[in-house]
Amino acid sequence: MSRGHHSRSEPVDGLLLLNKPAGLTSNQALQKVKRLLGAKKAGHTGSLDPAATGMLPLCFGEATKVCAFLLNADKTYRVTARLGTATDTGDATGAEIGSATVPELSAGQWDAILQGFLGESLQIPPMYSALKKDGRRLYELARKGETVEREPRSIRIDEIELLEAAGLRLVFRVRCSKGTYIRSLVEDIAKVAGTLAHTAGLHRENVADFRAEDMLDLSRAEADAADGPEPLRERLLPPDTALAALPEVQLDAIQATRFRDGQTVPSGHNESDGLARVYGGDQEFLGVGEFSTNGMLRPRRVFRLTEGHP
């Protein structure tokens, strides 16, 4: 294939689970893979800080329609905290703004502190975040040395597991709700322990029900696409992979046509609310439906996949 293949944008439908390297913003990573695939339309879900690594679901073509459903997904992180030092950004990229002695706590004592964060709580987002205040990103204000009042946000910690506690290093795994800022969590954990800390390393292991082993390194993606986009396109996951947690509804040919045309159809289920994955003949993925009264199913997102999609 000619060297000009990367400039041709074509309809490409599917998901790629990128193991984002450190040093790239989520959007920079997305644009690199979009070019490698020669895709027309792309989006990502659940941004990672530039310093963070790990699972970043990238959506292409019709699969961009699942981005909204992934935004609410739970996420699992492996976190390395550096105890005794606080930075202005809350991570290792920032300038040191404070230091404190670190108490000598046993693994059991650290574990007890971590378990105290289980469940729902209110968290104040960090200044170095992409949230907006009066139309401006907080990190833009923070870079100018400004600090503004931030509204506490409701978060949920489902699991938190101590992996290592040695000297100034604390390592733990956490499964949490959307909107949880790990940098703020690390600072709050240190506060309970009577010291300071910042996030020295952050790796996202999972988003929703995706498997960590399905992640692809950027270097591997570049190698796959060295002579053309086809080998990389073959690695794309079907869009409905992102919706595995939803119940499945099968429609006959007439119902499938009506669903595609935006009409409400019988679901064959008793649910009166919630979402479902909807399929036609030969397990063709039609889209996302919403259960309504009397066992009916209303189209929420209709997918029109191109031939040869994953």
Catalytically annotated residue among 49, 91, 224, 240? 49
**Residues with Cβ within 8 Å of residue 235, at least 6 apart in sequence:** 16, 216, 221, 224
Residue 212 structure tokens? 């960590």
3 state SS of 261? coil
274, HSE (Cβ side, Cα atoms, 13 Å): 15
Reading the block at residue 8, the tokens are 């041709």
Give the max Cα distance, the chain. 70
Is residue 302 within 8 Å of residue 287, measured between CB atoms? yes
C-alpha pair distances (Å), 3 with each of 82, 228, 229: 46, 8, 11
Contact 79, 175 (CB under 8 A): no
CB atoms within 10 A of CB 145: 8
Residue 89's contacts (CB-CB under 8 Å, 6 or more residues apart) are 95, 126, 128, 142, 183, 198
The helix (H) or strand (E) run that includes residue 197 is strand 197-207
DSSP class of 273:
S
Residue 297 structure tokens: 């199913």
- To 5 degrees, how large is the angle CA 226–CA 231–CA 233? 110
Cα separation, 156 vs 102, whole angstroms: 27
Active site residue 273: no
Residue positions annotated with a catalytic role: 49
